[in-house]
Amino acid sequence: NAGVTQTPKFQVLKTGQSMTLQCAQDMNHNSMYWYRQDPGMGLRLIYYSASEGTTDKGEVPNGYNVSRLNKREFSLRLESAAPSQTSVYFCASSYRAGGRGNQPQHFGDGTRLSIL
Amino acid sequence: SQQGEEDPQALSIQEGENATMNCSYKTSINNLQWYRQNSGRGLVHLILIRSNEREKHSGRLRVTLDTSKKSSSLLITASRAADTASYFCATDAGGQAGTALIFGKGTTLSVSS
């Protein structure tokens, strides 16, 4: 039972390059999330998908796009990478978001992204 | 902006001691959650307390919630070296249905043997 799997684990890009971070969960969760974690800033929500077919912006969506490919997969794309996007990116999933309160989230181990 | 703020930012204790960390938040909530993050790993859910609950236990963890003060505390009793990690509280974004969690900046706990 893998839980939440993120690929790649590490990546170095040059400014202006594009790339897609992949995330897949095998827990039949409805909701999926992308966060970035920077020193001293905690986790900040980039985008989330409350259910298959829907996506919503979080606190820091600029410079990113997402695709909820199916119930299992939620990808994050950087179209033109900038040094300010150097960070650790975490994908998470939960049974559902909102309603009578957010359910516990399950996290992957992150993608460490450096942009030169 | 952060909904929850943990205090202290860092805490160092000896094995066997208790560790208490606090979380304050700004708006009404449906529930509050605590997570642990070991170095280089993703967050792991520890405990969820609903807005109508005042205290909850899970093993060596005790969480309290005071909605009148908009605050919560996480107590880890009889700490072990393996408890060394960062701890985060998370709340609903403004208590609205259909919104995601907002995490605080975390408390870094170091437990030495």
Q: What is the pLDDT of residues A36-58, one digit of tens each?
A: 999 877 899 999 998 888 999 99
**Per-residue pLDDT, B78:** 97
Whole-number Å distance between alpha carbons of A78 and A76: 7
Mutating which of A105, A106, A109, A111 best tests the B interface, going by the most B Cβ atoms within 10 A? A105
Q: Which tokens is A6 given?
A: 């993120």
Contacts of B33 in chain A (CB under 8 A): 102, 104
Lowest mean pLDDT among A10-24, A66-80, B28-42: B28-42
- Each of the 113 residues of chain B gets a pLDDT tens digit; together they read 456 788 899 999 999 999 999 999 988 888 899 999 999 999 999 999 999 999 999 999 999 999 999 999 999 999 999 999 999 999 876 545 456 788 889 999 999 99
Are A106 and A4 in contact, with CB atoms under 8 Å apart?
Answer: yes
Sheet holding B61-66, edge to edge: B4-7, B19-25, B71-76, B61-66, B55-58
For residue A101, pLDDT beyond 70? no
Are B100 and A91 in contact, with CB atoms under 8 Å apart?
Answer: no
Mutating which of B1, B29, B101 best tests the A interface, going by the most A Cβ atoms within 10 A? B101
**Per-residue pLDDT, A77:** 98
